[in-house]
Amino acid sequence: MTSISNRLQDILATIQSAKLVAHRTHPVNLLAVSKAQSTSAIREAYVAGQKLFGENYLQEALDKQSQLADLAIEWHFIGPIQSNKTQLIAQHFDWVHSVDRLKVAQRLNDARPNTLAPLQVCIQVNISNEESKSGVTQQELETLAKAISLMPQLKLRGLMAIPEPSTDNNKQRLQFKQVRECYDALLAKGFSLDTLSIGMSDDYPIAIEEGATIVRIGSALFGARQ
Ligand SMILES: *Cc1c(COP(=O)(O)O)cnc(C)c1O
pLDDT, tens digit, for every residue of 168-208? Answer: 999 999 999 999 999 999 999 999 999 999 999 999 999 99
DSSP H or E run through 147: helix 138-149
Average pLDDT, the chain: 95
pLDDT exceeds 70 at position 22? yes
Report the pLDDT value the prediction gives residue 3, as an integer from 0 to 100. Answer: 93
CB of 53 within 8 A of CB of 36? no
Residue nearest to atom 4 of ligand 1 (CA): 218
217 CA distance to ligand 1 middle (Å)? 6
139 CA distance to ligand 1 middle (Å)? 26
Q: Which residue ranges have their beta carbon within 6 Å of ligand 1? A: 33, 35, 56, 78, 162, 200-202, 216-220
Distance CA 181, CA 126 (A): 13
221 CA distance to ligand 1 middle (Å)? 11
Residue nearest to atom 13 of ligand 1 (CA): 78
Q: What is the pLDDT of residues 116-140, one digit of tens each?
A: 999 999 999 998 766 667 899 989 9
CATH assignment of 4-222, among 3.90.1170.40, 3.40.720.10, 2.60.130.10, 3.20.20.10 = 3.20.20.10
pTM, whole model, 2 decimals? 0.97
Report the pLDDT value the prediction gives residue 134, as an integer from 0 to 100. Answer: 85
47 CA distance to ligand 1 middle (Å)? 22
Report the 10 Å Cβ neighbour count for 16.
Answer: 12
pLDDT exceeds 70 at position 13? yes
CB of 205 within 8 A of CB of 18? yes
Q: Which of 76, 81, 61 is nearest to 136 (CA)?
A: 81
Counting from 1 in the atom list of ligand 1, the atom nearest the Cα of 201 is 9
Residue nearest to atom 11 of ligand 1 (CA): 216
